[in-house]
Structure 1
Amino acid sequence: MIQVIRSDERHHLDAGWLSTYWHFSFDDYYDPDNISFGPLRVFNDDVIQPSGGFPMHPHREMEIVTYVIDGALKHRDDMGNEGVIRPGEVQRMSAGTGVRHSELNPSKIDPVHLIQLWIQPAVKGISPSWEQKSYSEEKRIGQLLPIAVPAGKNSNGAVSIQQDATIYTSLLEPGQGVTHSLRSGRRAYIFVIDGKLNVNGSPRTFSANGQTLGKGDQARISAESELKLAAADAKTAVDFLLLDLPH
């Protein structure tokens, strides 16, 4: 089953310094039918204006992954970690038993556009930790590149999270496609950052179950064994994230 939620169906908040789309219930937005998707609890699509951001605040028992699309975001926490994340980098913070951190746009000129995901951990009570890694933009062209993998797996440059979940980034040029197998009991979540993506259908003649996702669209997928993903526009590449999640 492929459930498509269009960009304009997302909950939107414009606070001036922050323009954000919340894919799930968050803060003062509450929908009892839209709390989470498996262990994926938060998926926020944020644009933070220059010098804006979130001052020191606490987290507990959550795996927080930050992916910057454009601009830069500065992280500082009470563990002594500090770093600036830019496109081509991914950051993970395991909140564990408790951590405080801030996230600020260090630029006085440019906004920062980012995706932040919160994933519920498989094991609670761990010590908080943080890591940031770089990935090759070239390696995600025409394929699914893992940028976050379950702890204990060979990361190959990806960050490690305390959950049996993998986050992939991909850029498909016109005419390119990839296939992703879903094991029994698994589900998938797709978000299109830019371009058009066809899911389980020919780019020109869509099957009955096929779906085309545009910029800002998401797909929540379950009970599918295979995903055939292809750039749906003959002239434009598609940039997207894919999450492989347990039920």
Structure 2
Amino acid sequence: MDPHSAQSLYKSPRTDVSQNQGKFRTHFNFPGRNHPDHDDHGYGPLATVVESFMDPDTLIRMHQHRNEEIISWVPDGVMRHDDGEGNKLVTDAENMLVMNAGSGFWHEERTLADDPPLRMLQIFVRPPSLELPSKIQHEPIPAPVANEWRHLFGPEGSDAPLFVRNEVDFYDIRLGEGETVDLPSASGRDTYFYVFEGEVTAGDTSFSKAESGLLVDGELPVSAATDSILVAFLIDPDAPVTRQGTIGR
């Protein structure tokens, strides 16, 4: 049987759900809204993918998260993190941050005056149960290899350098103009992808910067029309979830 025959691909344009706080701006992408027959703004354990912008010399003051897993992916620039545990961490292209904010985690974020403008993704994953122990992970990540998917987080016990407490795997790729790869796929998982930079074609559908796709029940190649950066999530849509996170409800 052709593995492409039963699949469904749903495209979403750039989100119109945004917040503008001057030097800090956010665009909220809700993967469940890609699917026309889905009644949840999230998609299983993946609650939202937030495109965040911070100007130089910006402070997001100390605040608490509860009952959500927050992942900061910074492909360029720096995001500086301080928290209630005394950690002072720098997240950048070589290091990734996961806050497993179960029973509660306090933190603040900043850029310095001589830091470059920052554009990053902050990913919110729903845990399977409430009030899990809180912890933080800050780990070096492998250097990217052109035109190859890089596995950056997954469920506990996966081969990724960081973990979240639910059935979501996260990948990124730098895909050169004219190159083609298959989207990540696995049995029992659906694939949500987001174009961070560039323009790609999946099947016969084009996706530009800040557009996203949801692939249900199948495999599909993706080709770059220009040099592109993509992220992709393998999601178990039937995984148990809670919906009481501070942001990722």
Do they superpose with TM above 0.5? yes
- Residue deviations 1:157-212 (CA, integer Å, cap 9, x gap): x211111211001011123222245344321111111111111x2xxxxxxxx311
CA separation of 1:2 and 1:23: change in aligned 2, threshold 3 A: same
Q: Which has the higher contact order (CA 8 A, sep 6+)?
A: 2
1:130 and 1:181 mapped to 2: Cα distance? Answer: 27
Aligned residue type for 1:220: L
1:60 and 1:13 mapped to 2: Cα distance? Answer: 21
1:40 aligned to 42, 46, 51, which one? 46
Establish whether residue 152 from structure 1 lines up as the match of residue 192 from structure 2.
no
CA separation of 1:163 and 1:107: change in aligned 2, threshold 3 A: farther
2:164 and 2:47 mapped to 1: Cα distance? Answer: 14
1:181 and 1:112 mapped to 2: Cα distance? Answer: 27
**Residue 174 of structure 1: aligned partner:** 177
Aligned pairs for 1:72-91 (under 5 A) are: 72-91=78-97
Moved more, 82-91 or 187-196: 82-91
**Residue 103 of structure 1: aligned partner:** 109
5+ long unaligned stretches in structure 2: 1-7, 32-37, 238-249
Aligned pairs for 1:1-247 (under 5 A) are: 1-7=8-14, 9-24=15-30, 35-108=41-114, 110-139=116-145, 141-155=146-160, 158-180=161-183, 182-199=185-202, 201=203, 210-222=204-216, 224-231=217-224, 233=225, 236-247=226-237
1:119 and 1:187 mapped to 2: Cα distance? Answer: 15
Aligned residue type for 2:181: V
TM-score (structure 1 length as normaliser): 0.83
Per-residue deviation, 1:226 = 0.7
Equivalent residues of 2:77, 2:115 under 8 A apart? no
- Residue deviations 1:98-129 (CA, integer Å, cap 9, x gap): 11111111344532111000101134433211
Shift >6 Å, 4+ stretches: none
Aligned residue type for 1:83: L
1:109 and 1:91 mapped to 2: Cα distance? Answer: 18
CA separation of 1:41 and 1:49: change in aligned 2, threshold 3 A: same
- How many residues align? The count is 224
- RMSD between aligned residues: 2.1
Aligned residue type for 2:127: P
Equivalent residues of 2:184, 2:191 under 8 A apart? no
**Residue 205 of structure 1: aligned partner:** none
1:91 and 1:3 mapped to 2: Cα distance? Answer: 29
Equivalent residues of 1:165, 1:244 under 8 A apart? yes
